[in-house]
Amino acid sequence: AQKITQTQPGMFVQEKEAVTLDCTYDTSDQSYGLFWYKQPSSGEMIFLIYQGSYDEQNATEGRYSLNFQKARKSANLVISASQLGDSAMYFCAMREGPNFNKFYFGSGTKLNVKP
Amino acid sequence: GAVVSQHPSRVICKSGTSVKIECRSLDFQATTMFWYRQFPKKSLMLMATSNEGSKATYEQGVEKDKFLINHASLTLSTLTVTSAHPEDSSFYICSALRAGQGSYEQYFGPGTRLTVT
């Protein structure tokens, strides 16, 4: 089974609108971490937001928020007030394992922000 | 913020030669570094986990003898692609975990694009 599933290969959003990028995960560990990264065309991976499995509050970082639904094993990224510079690939990732050193990435979602 | 560098950023080599890629944490110590491979328009695939002073842990399907990883210090890990072939052409990305308890974030290098002709 896929550890991280991103079902949206591509998304379009109008500038200044909000967009939700979907992510579901699969783990039997009690302790794990969920991440979202942005990868522009330059190739660098940019950390956006982190959610720990024991965190009760949804993580927020500026315009980014993570909608964490533990029972559903989903960790959707919400970007508010989209900007043209948000156009990029977005990857959801999970960290788990006995030493917390196993990372798994989803297949990514290509977000295009339209002016 | 924490900075991770990779060198070289791009490399073209001939089939059969070996290529070494360096990953350095510039302003922090990294007990653990990861090496990923990314095909065009695809996700990152974890190749191996590198711990300072010990042997790397390779993911299933990754050839240890082909992708040699050395983590000689807390700020440097190297990936050597031995006897490279065109199918090894890819984007290789390293990341580093900052030493210390409670560190959950991995800091990524800018990547190395390898082309084998």
- pLDDT tens, A59-98? 999 999 999 999 999 999 999 999 999 999 999 999 988 7
pLDDT of residue A39: 94
Q: Cβ-count burial of B29 within 10 angstroms (0-12 exposed, 13-18 middle, 19+ buried)?
A: middle
A5 close to B (CB below 8 A)? no
A44 close to B (CB below 8 A)? yes
In terms of CA atoms, which chain A residue is nearest residue B5?
A44
A12 close to B (CB below 8 A)? no
- Report the gap between the CA of A50 and the closest CA in chain B (Å): 8
Is B43 in contact with A108 (Cβ distance < 8 A)?
yes
B44 close to A (CB below 8 A)? yes
Confidence check: pLDDT of A110 > 90 = yes
- pLDDT tens, A29-48? 999 999 999 999 988 899 89
CA geometry: angle A61, A67, A73, nearest 5 deg = 130
Q: How far apart are CA B107 and CA B46, in angstroms?
A: 14
Nearest to B108 among A44, A50, A100 (CB): A44
Cβ-Cβ pairs closer than 8 A, A with B, add up to: 48
pLDDT-based confidence at residue A13 (cuts at 50, 70, 90): very high
- Report the gap between the CA of A44 and the closest CA in chain B (Å): 5
Handedness of CA A89, A31, A50, B62 (dihedral sign): negative
- Lowest mean per-residue pLDDT among B38-52, B55-69, B82-96: B38-52
A47 close to B (CB below 8 A)? yes
